[in-house]
Amino acid sequence: MRAIVNANIVLENEILENSALLFGETIEAVAPEHVPEGIEIIDAGGRFLFPGLIDVHTHGYCGREVLEGTADAVEFIAGKLLKDGVTGFLPTVATAPLPAVGAALDAVRATMGKGRGAKVHGAHMEGVFISVEKKGAHNPNLILPPDTDFLAPYADILRIVITAPEKYPEFVQWCAERGIVAAMGHTNATYQEAMEGIRRGVTQATHLFNGMRGLTHREPGAAGAALLSDRVNCELIADTAHVAKELYPLVYRMKGPDKILLITDSSIASGMGPGVYTSNARTVYVDELVGRLENGTISSSVVPLRRDILNFHRHSGATLPEAVRMATLNPARVLKLDHALGSIREGKRADLFVADGEMNVLLTVLDGEIVYRGDAPC
């Protein structure tokens, strides 16, 4: 057993100042009256102690990407994510030829439950079965109608699948019937079409506002349906580039603290710094916030999830515990893992990280083991 002391512990609804936490593989006690003698003591030095982050939408990190289609690539990404306080994630597969998609999904399967990196909780499939009209950075030549024969062998590891409900309402139902989260994204759905998709089983909106018909005063579109439906969780990339920070209060007031999932939509360039990179066989030009294709289309974000939390907290009106829940407990609930992950509570897994007020990570703990210390570069 170990103890983290002198920490500001971020719980689901409050922060316990100058408190201690006892943990082994699971959390043994929060703010105990006494810390037992003879155990390892970690002094947080007045910094914050957070539950481990869960990123449900990440394509790559530190020079590698999921579409490499190898277990080595997924394991590498999982290891590097620890330095950002991410202890669980869904490797996300973008539009590509179906054999490449299959290889990436096979790689995800091969890494689930293995390694000492962030836990692989399953796969997220973004692309292929989407709308050409709202393709974003996806290659239109590779977009196809849904192929359930192709997907069926992967139903056990697929956690989220993105599609356009106005085009493929039956596919939405197919996903929902198999316990796969049906997400509407890269969709040109009208408000009515989106609401029909929600009736059929859509429960998530992919990177809200991006890659979907937007909200106007006469046509609320898919974005309006996502904001207005209590059944829909909304992903948000809070890097201040994908969505203007002035809109964060609107999203917060409409969806509340429990229906928002902060995500990165990270890429091969995340953690690497500005430059020119090749991702999914395309050239991407990266600045401090996003990657863009040669035509200027945003292709990804390079802002880590911990910074998204801080951005949303500072610009939306959400408290820090609420913003943290959007990247911990809320995704754990979507993945049906909230009984064990997503918050600091006795009996839950000891997936934790220590960071300062600017969310610079000093220490990451996974299943009670210290797996990252300091400022390690890619």
Residue 183 lies in a domain: yes
Q: What is the pLDDT of residue 240?
A: 97
| DSSP summary character for residue 349 | B
Q: Phi first, then psi: what are they for 323, rounded to 5°? A: -65, -35
CA dihedral 125, 275, 364, 334 (to 10 degrees): -20
Around Cβ 354, how many Cβ atoms within 10 Å? 23
pTM of the predicted structure, to 2 decimals = 0.96
Structure token pair of residue 242:
């994908």
Residue 172 lies in a domain: yes
Same domain flag for 65 and 38: no
Q: What is the pLDDT of residue 375?
A: 67
Same domain flag for 68 and 46: no
Catalytic residue check, 43 = no
Same domain flag for 161 and 59: yes
Overall domain count for the chain: 2
CA dihedral 302, 107, 328, 279 (to 10 degrees): 10
Same domain flag for 144 and 247: yes
CATH of the domain at 272: 3.20.20.140
Structure token pair of residue 1:
């057993």
**Residue range of the domain that includes 221:** 52-334
3-class DSSP assignment, residue 89: strand
| C-alpha neighbours within 13 Å on the C-beta side of residue 193 | 20
Rounded Cα distance between 90 and 73, Å, is 13
Dmax (CA) for the chain in angstroms is 67
Same domain flag for 27 and 91: no
Q: What is the pLDDT of residue 376?
A: 61
CATH of the domain at 365: 2.30.40.10
3-class DSSP assignment, residue 255: helix
Residue 316 lies in a domain: yes
Nearest Cα neighbor of 313 from 326, 303, 300 is: 326
Same domain flag for 74 and 184: yes
Q: Where are the alpha helices (DSSP H) in 38-146?
A: 71-81, 98-111
Per-residue tens of pLDDT for the chain, all 378 residues: 999 999 999 999 999 999 999 999 999 999 998 999 999 999 999 999 999 999 999 999 999 999 999 999 999 999 999 999 999 999 999 999 999 999 999 999 999 998 889 999 999 999 899 999 999 989 999 999 999 999 999 999 999 999 999 999 999 999 999 999 999 999 999 999 999 999 999 999 999 999 999 999 999 999 999 999 999 999 999 999 999 999 999 999 999 999 999 999 999 989 888 999 988 778 999 999 999 998 999 988 999 999 999 999 999 999 999 999 999 999 999 999 999 999 999 999 999 999 999 999 999 999 999 999 986 665
Q: What is the pLDDT of residue 282?
A: 82
Same domain flag for 242 and 351: no
Residue 339 lies in a domain: no
Rounded Cα distance between 364 and 360, Å, is 11
Structure token pair of residue 145:
């109608």
| DSSP summary character for residue 52 | P
Structure token pair of residue 210:
């991006």
Around Cβ 370, how many Cβ atoms within 10 Å? 13
Same domain flag for 327 and 348: no
Check 265, 287, 308, 338 and give the catalytic one.
265
